[in-house]
Structure formats: structure tokens, C-alpha cells
Structure 1
Amino acid sequence: MTDEKRRPRPAAQYGPTAEVVAANVARLRKARGLTIYGLSGLLEKAGRPITPSAIAKVEKQQRQVTVDDLAALAVAFGVSPAALLLPLDDDPNHRVEVTGAGQVPASSAWAWASGRQPLKLTPGREEAELLEHQLNGLPSSQVRMRQQPLWRALQVAEESTGRLLRKSSVFVEGDDEHFADQVHQARRALERVAAELDHLESTRAGEAADLKRWAEDAKKPKGEDSDGPSVD
């Protein structure tokens, strides 16, 4: 046997995301009230068997999780894959480490994992990179929907109200002016949503009226326009 054949295989390299996956498997298993044997049974029924000892090794970062394992675990726990890949923290003031990206704001990591935006945006190219992200990472129906003004207004409203609710959960003395400003921003964002809804409703009503008129015109005798019979 050659020296090369005798050489032991290098140990698997575990990055920051693997560490989070291991912690989340343990967290979700306990939250579901499952032992490693119970979880193993669920995975076997799902057609992706993982032995109890292998599950214990996953939680100790002694066994790699394949993409098929990850999908099966997410199904067994009743969560999205993102709930395994990221910590349960979306505070924009906190940072999480993502393999290949380094430290990023927790809120950005979750927006990326949920398909809302790229993990990082280049200053001056935000709009282009967001569009590329959607075109390359979402079904075409989702891309079309996200290009609508109403969708964009809803996104802004969600972000504004989210900041407001986070702010309202912690009282800071002397911060009334900042809080009032966030209330104003959230109100303006919701008013924009209402305006876009009104516009969508009026557009739909106009289209319905046009269709009705065209249908009535199609029923008229040939040579008769909408103002009455034609005169030679």
C-alpha cells in the first residue's frame, strides 16, 4: 500500500452555516418534543432515513447534512429550510455569519433567505441587482407580481411598520421624537398602499366598462357604430 493510500482522509470542514444548522436541528427537535429516535422514525417514513446515532452526530457537528437531508428535516419539522439555515433572529442591529458572505445584518440574512432581496447590494446598483435577483431566483409569476406598484408599496409598509413595532417594544426615555417620526413614516406607507388599492380598483372598473362596451358593439348590426346607424 502506498503512502498516499495510507494517508487518512481530511476531516470535514464545518463552516458557520453548518454550525447554525446543527443548533437548529437540536432546537427544532426539542421544540417538537422528539427524541433522536422519534425524529429518525419520521425521516424513515418520509423516505430519507437517518439513524438516531447520525442525528446525534449532526447536532454535535460530527456529521455533514446534505441538501436532501436538509429538505427532509425541514419537512419533518414543518418549517422552511431557512429555519434551519439561519438563527431565529432578524434584528437589523444584530449580525449573523453566513458561509460565503461573512457577517451580515440578521434582517438582511432573512430577507435574502425568504427571496426578497440579495444578501448584499452594491451602492449605485441596487435596482439592477434586485431585478437580477428576482429574474434569476423567482418564478416568472412572482417576478411580475413584485414589479407592481402595489407590491412595492406593501413591502415599504411592512418594513416601516416592522421598524415601528420593534421600536414600540422597547421604551427609551427621550426618544419620543424618533418614535413619532417612525409613526409618521408608517402612516405614510400605509396611505400609499391604500392609494395603490384605489388605483387598482378604478383600473379594474375601467377595464370592465371597456369590455362591456366592446361586447355591446360586437352585437350591433354590421355598419352601425356606437352613435347610431351610419348614413351614406
Structure 2
Amino acid sequence: MSDETRPKTQITDLAGRNVAANVRRIREAHGWSTYDLARKLKEAGRPISPSAVAKVEREERRVDAGDLVALSVVLNVNPSALLLPRDDSPTTIVDLMPGKHTDGGEVRMTASRLWEWADGEVQLFSAPKAEDDFQAQREFIQNARPPRRGLREMEALLRQYRLKDEEGHTDGPSVD
């Protein structure tokens, strides 16, 4: 199939649209052209042509994980700054994915919660029952955080539940 007959890629997912807008915004904030960004990516060892950079910004080219890391490094931002909307308002609702979560619910949340999740501060979904919340938070820390950070965060989680117990709340497990 020639390039002339190949249908154009059109990015429709939230993350892809965010990457497109954020790459353009940050590139322009640096005062760089698409040629400048492409040159810097090539120098960094991840060549992406100027036309491919323009396609990313027009939502006509997908960015894979390696591209995302390279763009983040060259633009000097964390990957979340490219993946997420610029908004972190607690009142803005974000549809993270078009489908359903495994529990059947919508995959939507406030922009503020989305940033907290992306920064590794909270799990995306809370446990449905309060008594399961400690276990869910423990599993999140164990699976999503590196061991050293996880240990510090687990200690903080235990302190939080210990304080609840001392205040007479019985909605969580005993940590003694």
C-alpha cells in the first residue's frame, strides 16, 4: 500500500491527544521548531523526523513508550506532563478510558485524582468496602512503588491506621 492510499492515523484516546497538545505546548515554550526538537531527539539517540514530530502534534502519529521517554527527557519534563491534561482541578472530570473498569464502572475521575494517581500518591480505585481499604492500599504500595519508597509509604499507611484506631475508628484492621 503506498503512502497516498494509506488512511491517516487519527489519535482518539485521551493520552494520545494529551501527548500531542503537550509536546507542542512545551516545544513552543522552549522556542523550538519541530526541526529543533527532531535534532535534539536525534542527538539523544531516539531519532524522530521533523515530519513525524509534526504528525505527533497533529494527532496523526502514535507515541510509543520509548518515544514518550525520549520526548520527556529532551523536553525536560516527567512523562506525566506529556500524558495528562494540563488541568488538575478537583472539579474537572476526566474520562480516562472509553471502556469500563473490570468492576463495570466508568474509568473517570477528577483531574486532581488523576494527577495524584500518575504521581504514585494514590491508587486509581478505592476498595468498595472500608474494611478492605487497608489491604487495597497495601497492595497498591507493594505493586506500584519501588521497595525503598514503598517501605516509607507503608510506614505512613500504618501510622495513619494506628491514629484511626487511637481515635476510636474501627473501620480498618488493627495494625498492632
- For the criterion TM > 0.5, the same-fold answer is yes
How far off its partner does 1:46 sit? 0.5
Question: Could you tell me which residue of structure 2 aligns to residue 107 of structure 1?
Answer: 112
Question: Could you tell me which residue of structure 1 aligns to residue 174 of structure 2?
Answer: none
Question: Could you tell me which residue of structure 2 aligns to residue 75 of structure 1?
Answer: 73
- 1:10–1:108 CA distance, 2 compared to 1 (3 A): same
CA distance in 1, matches of 2:157, 2:15: 35
User: Which is greater in Rg?
Assistant: 1
- Give the number of aligned pairs: 147
Question: Could you tell me which residue of structure 2 aligns to residue 90 of structure 1?
Answer: 88
Question: Could you tell me which residue of structure 1 aligns to residue 164 of structure 2?
Answer: none
Please give the per-residue CA displacement for 1:157-189, whole angstroms capped at 9, x wherever unaligned. xxxxxxxxxxxxxxxxxxxxxxxxxxxxxxxxx
Question: One-letter code of the match for 2:128?
Answer: P
Q: Residue 104 of structure 1: SS of its match in structure 2?
A: strand
How far off its partner does 1:149 sit? 3.9
Q: What aligned pairs does 1:125-140 form with structure 2 within 5 A after superposition?
A: 125-140=132-147
How far off its partner does 1:122 sit? 2.7
Unaligned runs of 5+ in 2: 1-5, 99-105, 161-176
Q: Residue 17 of structure 1: SS of its match in structure 2?
A: helix
Q: What aligned pairs does 1:118-129 form with structure 2 within 5 A after superposition?
A: 118-124=123-129, 125-129=132-136
Does 2:63 match 1:58?
A: no
- 1:32–1:13 CA distance, 2 compared to 1 (3 A): closer
Match for residue 148 of structure 2 among 141, 162, 179: 141
CA distance in 2, matches of 1:27, 1:13: 17
- 1:69–1:152 CA distance, 2 compared to 1 (3 A): farther
Q: Residue 127 of structure 1: SS of its match in structure 2?
A: helix
Q: How large is the RMSD of aligned CA atoms in angstroms?
A: 2.4
CA distance in 2, matches of 1:9, 1:42: 29
Does 2:20 match 1:22?
A: yes
TM-score, normalized by length of structure 1? 0.58
Unaligned runs of 5+ in 1: 1-7, 154-232
Identity %: 38
- 1:129–1:150 CA distance, 2 compared to 1 (3 A): closer
Question: One-letter code of the match for 2:137?
Answer: L
CA distance in 1, matches of 2:43, 2:15: 27
Compare relative contact order (CA 8 Å, sep 6+) and give the higher one, 1 or 2: 2
How far off its partner does 1:60 sit? 0.5
CA distance in 2, matches of 1:135, 1:67: 23
The answer to whether the 8 Å contact 1:16/1:98 transfers is yes
The answer to whether the 8 Å contact 2:87/2:111 transfers is yes
CA distance in 2, matches of 1:151, 1:46: 43
Structure richer in helix, relative to its length? 1
Question: One-letter code of the match for 2:115?
Answer: W
Please give the per-residue CA displacement for 1:94-132, whole angstroms capped at 9, x wherever unaligned. 112323663310111001100111112133133222211
Question: Could you tell me which residue of structure 1 aligns to residue 34 of structure 2?
Answer: 36
Question: One-letter code of the match for 2:136?
Answer: E
The answer to whether the 8 Å contact 2:141/2:154 transfers is no
TM-score, normalized by length of structure 2? 0.75
The answer to whether the 8 Å contact 2:93/2:108 transfers is yes
